[in-house]
Amino acid sequence: MFRFALTRIGMALPTLLIVAVSVFVLIRLIPGDPAQLMLGDLATPASLADLRARLGLDQSLPVQFGIWIGNVLSGDFGQSISSQQAVLPLILQRFWVSAQIVLVAVLLASCVAVPAGVIAAWKQDSALDLGLVATATLLLSIPTFWLGLLLLLFFGLKLEWLPVVGYVSIAENPWAGILYLVMPIMTLFLHEIGVILRMARASTLEVLRLDYITHARAKGLSERAVLWRHAFKNAFGPTWTLIGLVLGNLLGGIAVVETVFTIPGLGRLLVDAIFARDYPVIQGCMLFVAFTYVLVNLVIDLCYPVFDPRVTAQ
Amino acid sequence: MSSDSTLSTGGTVKKPSRVKLPAPNAIVGGTLIGILLVSAGIGALWTPYDPLKLSFREKLAAPSALHWLGTDEFGRDVLSRLMAGAATSVWISILTVTLAVVMGTTIGLFSGYMRGWTDRVIMAFNDALLAFPGILLALGLLAVVGANKYGIIVALGIAYTPSVARVVRGTVLSLREREFIAASRVMGNSEAFTMARHILPNCIAPLTVLATSMFGYVLLAESALSFLGLGVPPPAPTWGNMLAGSRPYIGQAVWLGIFPGLCISLTLLGINLLGDAVRDRLDPRMRGSR
Amino acid sequence: MTKTAPLLDVANLTLTIGGSGRTVVNDVSFQVFPGEIVGIVGESGSGKTLAARAVMGFIPPAVRLEGGTIRFDGQDVMAMSPKDLRSMRGSKVGMVFQEPMTSLNPSMLIGRQLDEGLALHRKLDAAGRRTLILDMLKRVGLRDPEGALTAYPHQFSGGMRQRIMLASVMLLKPALLLADEPTTALDAVVQRDVMELMVELTQANNTAVLLISHDLGMVARYCSRIVVMCQGDVVEQGLSEDILARPQHPYTRKLLSAMPHRLPARLLPEAKTPIVSVRDLVVEYPGRQGFFHKEQAKRALHGISIDVQPGEVVAVVGGSGSGKTTLGQSIAGLVRPAGGEIRFNGKPIAKSDAAFWDYRLNCQMVFQDPYSSLDPRMTIGQLVGEPLRLVSDMSPADRKARVAEVLTEVGLDDGFAERYPHELSGGQRQRIAIARAIVRRPSFVIADEPVSALDVTVRAQVLELFDELQKKHGFSCLFISHDLGVVEQVADRVIVMQDGRIVEQGPRDDIFDNPKHPYTQKLLAAVPGLESTSEGGVRLFWRRAENDKQITG
């Protein structure tokens, strides 16, 4: 088990390195002087010269990367051009907003979709199965930005139950904070139900065909015990991996939902930075989200032996 | 599998093959995609009104006999804009998928062919790129190449290349374990010939499945980018930027927000259904999986 | 057991497939009496597994019960409530499966899996159950029963898992055990041990066994009565001795004659140089490269030397892990040897391109799995014609003619050339694979388990075809197999391998009648031999064993 964990962590390190290289290269692909890009139009010759020296622009590219990654590791992601704030605190502050939406939505969706998928597989080809799969496929097909718009139209404008747009920190005003988060969370929740349900159903179907399920039935176990004690744990592995991917993808794609509900999250930060050509922020956001994605998947992987002890035995 | 084990001998009965009619999901999905392609085709050549023509007298007109799906805040005909948007979206999606499939297949084949260290290095890079959620990588690339029609194609094409490469390389490696590849080598065929004659043709089935679903992802990503204002710049209509434009008026002109979203959703539904059907057809074992 | 009531009474059982209405089990009747061992024999598609699973009330969703009854202990299984059915399963009827790799839950501790059934059906406290389980695990031959309780299935070999499976089922001392090909997936040497263990355990508890198998020899060895099934029908049933000695139904006779039998030894002309000679062949598989360490290379072959004379069929036998497949692959050039030399017609193939190419064109291979060895996207004509691409002096017309000729030779006519592999049966596919191997008229063919994926009667036909072609074209052959019966039928000479080394080799009759090495003796002791009798039946015997008893008839 220890060796398994060590190997998996070892495998994540080169990935992180290549991710960092990619982000570095991506920004360097933009034509022009990197120092000029990082400081924007308001740069003075003095500050330009200063930054050039700090980035090591007169040295070779690998050295420049070394300097940059050193800064990143010490938490220095540079300064935003438009707001003149340090990038990392800005990202962390926005990340918290996005993370609470994504985490709650995925958690709720998993709680609903996983059991529903298992039951659909158990009742394969019945009306219930058909209904669940059809609903899931439908939910999966509605893009989050339109789903959000529909919810907004219905709950916000027609029923006037929920505030239409905006965001209040839960820390400041818990009740209002929650009200503002209900619709964004519901949007992602509904969408991810479709994704997770289909996966849970498919992997359960795979498992239900296997001999050990028949063996469990042949012992005289009830269907409930067969399904939850024997099938569920073995079928959950692929779904668990998928949940990790969903978390990361949502973090990358949450900009649209944040746009619909005007929430100051990480996605919006990145998109605004792209509009403003605020390259330090673009670079910081990409690096941060990609790192988070790798780490989330690493944690997911490290938990995998719980569902399938065979993976540690390679 | 060890070649020493005896293969199946039990008297198992195969599941009955379904009636030979196309599956219901194939019919519904095929119809939806058919409608999309036809309207995109027509939309590229002809629309009821000029999708760009402003007409302030008719702004925010509700659906009527004159404007079946109403008009927008500039009095432009929504139906015409949807048709023109369909043409743009379909064209972008097809080009993007083609780009990703060509690049991904090349990388995957090369990597699977070389194996060893070359394969490891290529795949390490590939997997690291997969560590960026697709849309994030596209956003980053857009920041570099610029937000316009061709920028989107390049950005999304590159963003989706790693997943194609991964699938192709995985298929190549699993095909290499099959005995007919060993047979080809025993015959005296060169590695390159084996690759072209036996491995590539057998990659087509999984590539078809992948390309079908990728068409959906790309169309969705393109709409999302347009929605964010990073896609095809206005006034040229796309479903995504129409939706984005509708947001301020959604209280007074519901149709502006409904129809473009409905178009995207129905298209994605069609692709998802069709994708399931194609997969069931090509790989019955994966029936019903994602 | 003459006048007692039957434990299991299956009467006129008919099962059909829901959609198509195809009958898969047709009017099947048989009985099992307490303590008796009854075998159902049949090939794939015979319906034997379906019929047996129906006894427990397991009917796949797609299959419909058309008629008939299954009575267990006088009760109609089909009419039982789910609750009664569950209380019967496990406690009164147990089941052992074919594939030990998938019949135990991979994510549940063995102790818990064994405990589950006991806890459900027996009123015992945890300590009492634990004692029973440990006792049973010891009886099935586990060295460390305590440790096994907290281990996962993947930590055991296939044979051990099958023993654990037996333990799990026999813990509850059921009155009837359904055993569906319980040893088919196991290595030959282990097969007999597991079978004997099963018989011993069931006899001790007076458990009746319904043994489902394709292997007539094994069924005849252990069962008092045999039910022969074909295409959903019971074609014949009766006492084992009677069925073996005086088969009534043509299908039974076909099954019996399909069992491999020894042909008279051939005299091959002495040749000066062997067609293929292998010297000190060493093959190593590189260790897995981890991030922090590199594993030791694993040596699969430890210096193998073999000569194959022109026209000779040399069989290589051994269990899994013996290196026999690696040997075939390295001689075929699929695996690069770490040392040693291969000579073709006396010339080392590694020394010159010309020698290598000569060898490449003259050495062909037939693979094990006909479902994997044919490119699914090519037609039969293209598949068989492909090797001719590399023959330089052949016109397209000649090639076409050769393909047609070879297809006829393997018993498939012209109509097949346009078809695709998936339209063909397993036996037909293997004929295509053979046709592809011989289309260039090679002088040396490597056959790696060429019939082990085939049904008994199909196997006999393919072996016959192979023999015919070998005689006609005179190619030499390296025949790799785990199946001693098949080897006895085809081989001129036999090489026995164990752990990457040759332990014994010699003419077939010497090896089979007078084995010297203990491993050879063990291999031979594991499978029953057969001799034809004058009445169209067979006589079964254990080749050489501690208990050298014979079943005659």
pLDDT digits (tens, 9 = 90+) for C228-254: 999 999 999 999 989 988 889 999 988
With contacts defined as CB-CB under 8 Å, which chain A residues touch B125?
18
Instruction: Give me the mean pLDDT over the C420-447 stretch.
Output: 93
CB contacts under 8 A, B 259-278 vs A, are 260-261, 264-266, 268-269, 272-273, 276
Judge contact between A265 and A98, C-beta under 8 A. Answer: yes
CB nearest B13 (choices: C50, C367, C369): C50
Residue ranges of B 190-249 with Cβ closer than 8 A to chain A = 220, 223-224, 227-230, 240, 243-244, 246-247
Among B52-66, C52-66, C288-302, C314-328, the least confident range? C288-302
Smallest Cα distance from A202 to chain C, Å: 17
* Phi, psi (rounded to 5 degrees) for C303: 70, 75
For residue B16, pLDDT over 50 is answered with no
Name the region of C141 (left: φ>0; alpha: ψ -120 to 50; beta: rest): left
Would you state the pLDDT for residue C321? 83
Q: What residue in C sits closest to B117 (Cα-Cα)?
A: C289
Instruction: Tell me what pLDDT residue B9 has.
Output: 32
Rounded distance between C-alpha atoms, residue C460 and residue C443, angstroms: 24
pLDDT at C487: 92
B56: pLDDT strictly greater than 50:
yes
Residue B246 has a pLDDT of 84
- The pLDDT tens digits for A99-149 are 999 999 999 999 999 999 999 999 988 899 999 999 999 999 999 999 999
pTM, full prediction? 0.85
Q: How far is it, in rounded angstroms, from Cα C139 to Cα C549?
A: 25
Of the candidates A262, A270, A307, A314, the one whose C-alpha atom is nearest the C-alpha of residue A292 is A270
Cα–Cα distance between C227 and C38 in angstroms, integer?
8
3-class SS of residue C429: helix
Q: What is the pLDDT of residues C288-326, one digit of tens each?
A: 655 555 667 788 899 999 999 999 999 999 988 889 999
- The answer to whether the Cβ–Cβ distance between B4 and C482 falls below 8 Å is yes
Tokens of B168: 């192709």
In chain C, the percentage of residues whose pLDDT exceeds 70 is 95
ipTM for the whole predicted complex goes beyond 0.90: no
With H, G, I as helix, E, B as strand and everything else as coil, classify residue C486: helix
Which residues in chain A land under pLDDT 50? none
Taking the C-alpha atoms of residue A260 and residue C13, their distance in angstroms, rounded to an integer, is 64
According to DSSP, residue C390 is labeled: G
Q: Does residue C99 sit at the A interface (CB-CB below 8 Å)? A: yes
* Selection from B66-75, C266-275, C287-296, C517-526 with the highest mean pLDDT: C517-526
- Nearest residue on chain A to B144, alpha-carbon basis: A30
The count of CB pairs under 8 A between chains A and C is: 82
Given CB atoms, is A248 within the 8 Å cutoff of chain B? yes
Q: Which of B139, B243, B257 sits opposite A153 (nearest CB)?
A: B257
Given this model, what pLDDT does residue B234 score? 80
Token pair of C421 as six digits:
């592999």
Partner A contacted by B183 (CB < 8 A): no
Q: Do C452 and B185 touch (CB under 8 A)?
A: no
Q: At what angle do helices A87-122 and A174-208 cross, to 10 degrees?
A: 40
Q: Are the C-beta atoms of B114 and B92 separated by less than 8 Å?
A: no
Band (pLDDT 50/70/90 cuts) for residue C516 is: very high
Q: Which residues of C touch A230 (CB under 8 A)?
A: 105, 108
Following DSSP, what letter does each residue of chain B receive, concatenated?
Answer: --TTS----S---PPPPPPSSPPHHHHHHHHHHHHHHHHHHHHHH--SS-TT---GGGTTPPS-SSSTT-B-TT--BHHHHHHHHHHHHHHHHHHHHHHHHHHHHHHHHHHHHH-HHHHHHHHHHHHHHHTS-HHHHHHHHHHHH-SSHHHHHHHHHHHHHHHHHHHHHHHHHHHHTSHHHHHHHHHT--HHHHIIIIIHHHHHHHHHHHHHHHHHHHHHHHHHHHHHT-SSPTTS--HHHHHHHHGGGTTT-HHHHHHHHHHHHHHHHHHHHHHHHHHHHH-GGGTT--
pLDDT of residue B288: 36
CA distance C175 to C33: 10
Residue contacts between B and C (CB atoms, under 8 Å): 127
Nearest CA in chain B to A156: B251
Q: CA–CA separation, B142 vs B144, rounded Å?
A: 5
- What pLDDT is stored for residue C552 in this prediction? 33
Please tell me the distance from the alpha carbon of residue A104 to that of residue A188, in angstroms, as a whole number. 9
Task: Find chain C residues with C-beta within 8 A of B196's C-beta.
Answer: none
User: For A14, which of B124, B129, B228 is closest by C-beta distance?
Assistant: B124
A8 at C interface, C-beta within 8 A: no
Nearest to C120 among A219, A234, A310 (CB): A219
Question: pLDDT at position C72, please?
Answer: 94
CA gap C118, C172 in Å, rounded: 7
Among A29, A145, A252, select the one facing B227 at the smallest CB separation: A145
For residue B160, which of B112, B253, B248, B92 has the smallest C-alpha distance? B92
DSSP symbol at C368? S
Contact of C117 with chain A, judged by CB distance below 8 Å, is answered with yes
Number of CB atoms found within 10 A of residue C194's CB = 24
Query: Average pLDDT for residues C23-29, to the nearest whole number?
Result: 93
Give A98 or C45, the one with higher predicted confidence. A98
The rounded distance, in Å, linking the Cα atoms of A212 and C108 is 11
C97 interface with A at CB cutoff 8 Å: yes
Q: What is the pLDDT of residues C439-483, one digit of tens each?
A: 999 999 999 999 988 888 999 999 999 999 999 999 999 999 998
Mutation site, A211, A221, A239, A310, interface C, largest C CB count within 10 A: A211
Task: Tell whether B279 is within 8 A of chain C (Cβ).
Answer: no
CA–CA distance, C133 with C321 (Å, rounded to integer): 31
Residue with tokens 């989107």: B152
CA distance B21 to chain C (A): 14
Chain B residues lying within 8 Å of A146, measured CB to CB: 243, 257, 260-261, 264-265
Neighbours of chain A (3+ CB pairs under 8 A): B, C
Say which range, A143-152, B275-284, C96-105, C424-433, has the weakest mean pLDDT: B275-284
How many whole angstroms from its chain centre is CA C334? Answer: 25
User: Which chains share 3+ C-beta pairs under 8 angstroms with C?
Assistant: A, B
Please tell me whether the peptide bond between B235 and the residue prior to it is cis, using omega within 30 degrees of 0. yes
Strand ranges, E, within chain A: none
Q: How confident is the model at residue C544 (pLDDT cuts 50, 70, 90)?
A: low
Mean pLDDT of chain A: 88
CB-based contact (8 Å) between C104 and chain A? yes
Q: How far is B270 from chain C (nearest CA, A)?
A: 28
Q: Is the pLDDT of residue C546 over 70?
A: no
pLDDT over 80 (residue B107): yes
Find chain C residues with C-beta within 8 A of B201's C-beta: 375, 377
Give the lowest-confidence range in A59-73, B26-40, C277-291, C379-393: C277-291
Q: How far apart are CA A240 and CA B92, in angstroms?
A: 33
Is B52 near chain A, with CB under 8 Å?
no
pLDDT attached to residue B20: 54
Minimum distance, in Å, between the CA of residue A22 and any CA atom of chain B: 8
Residue C3 has what pLDDT? Answer: 61
Mean pLDDT of chain C: 89
Chain A contact set for B266 (CB, 8 A): 141
Query: Which of B228, B240, B269 comes nearest A271 by C-beta?
Result: B228
Q: Which pLDDT value is given to residue C553?
A: 31
B36 in Cβ contact with B86 (< 8 Å): yes
Tell me the C-alpha distance between B275 and B208, whole Å: 9
Distance from CA of B59 to the nearest CA of C (A): 58
Q: Is the pLDDT of residue B157 over 50?
A: yes
> Nearest CB to A211: which of C103, C117, C121?
C103
C2 pLDDT more than 60? no
Contact A215 C116 (CB under 8 A): no
pLDDT at B209: 86
Token pair 């790129």 is found at B129
**Which residues in chain C have Cβ-Cβ distances shorter than 8 Å to A309?**
106-107, 152, 154
Question: What is the three-class DSSP state of C314?
Answer: strand
pLDDT band at C547 (very low <50, low <70, confident <90, very high): very low
Within 150-189 of B, beta carbons closer than 8 Å to C belong to 178-180, 182-189
Residues of C in contact with B180 (CB under 8 A): 372-375
Residues of B in contact with A154 (CB under 8 A): none
C551 falls in which pLDDT band (50, 70, 90)?
very low
